[in-house]
Amino acid sequence: MTHFHRNVFSRVPSTKVTKVQEVTHVLKAIHAQGNSKAAQKEPDAVIENLRAQRLTRTAELIEESLGERLTY
């Protein structure tokens, strides 16, 4: 899990510290869901939010590895 988070953070521009903090909260929200149905819905909203913030590379990585992350 730690390596995944590092990969995600590597795709957030380092000049935008507040964006890194937002992504941290987003990742915690995905993994803190109480059941699998809620866990499946949360990432869709997160991915849309990241794309709206122009963090498309970060959104793509989360989208690509979503199944693996939720299985863990």
**Between residues 58 and 66, which one has the greater pLDDT?**
58
Q: Specify the pLDDT at position 72.
A: 54
Sequence ranges of the domains in the chain: 2-71
pLDDT score of 16: 66
Task: Please answer whether residues 40 and 70 qualify as being in contact, where contact means their C-beta atoms are separated by less than 8 angstroms.
Answer: yes
| pLDDT single digits (tens) 13-50 | 777 677 888 888 877 777 776 676 766 777 788 888 88
Query: Tell me, what's the pLDDT at 36?
Result: 67
> Above 80 in pLDDT, residue 1?
no
Question: CA torsion sign, 63 to 64 to 68 to 69?
Answer: negative
pLDDT of residue 13: 79
For the chain, the first-to-last Cα distance in angstroms comes to 8
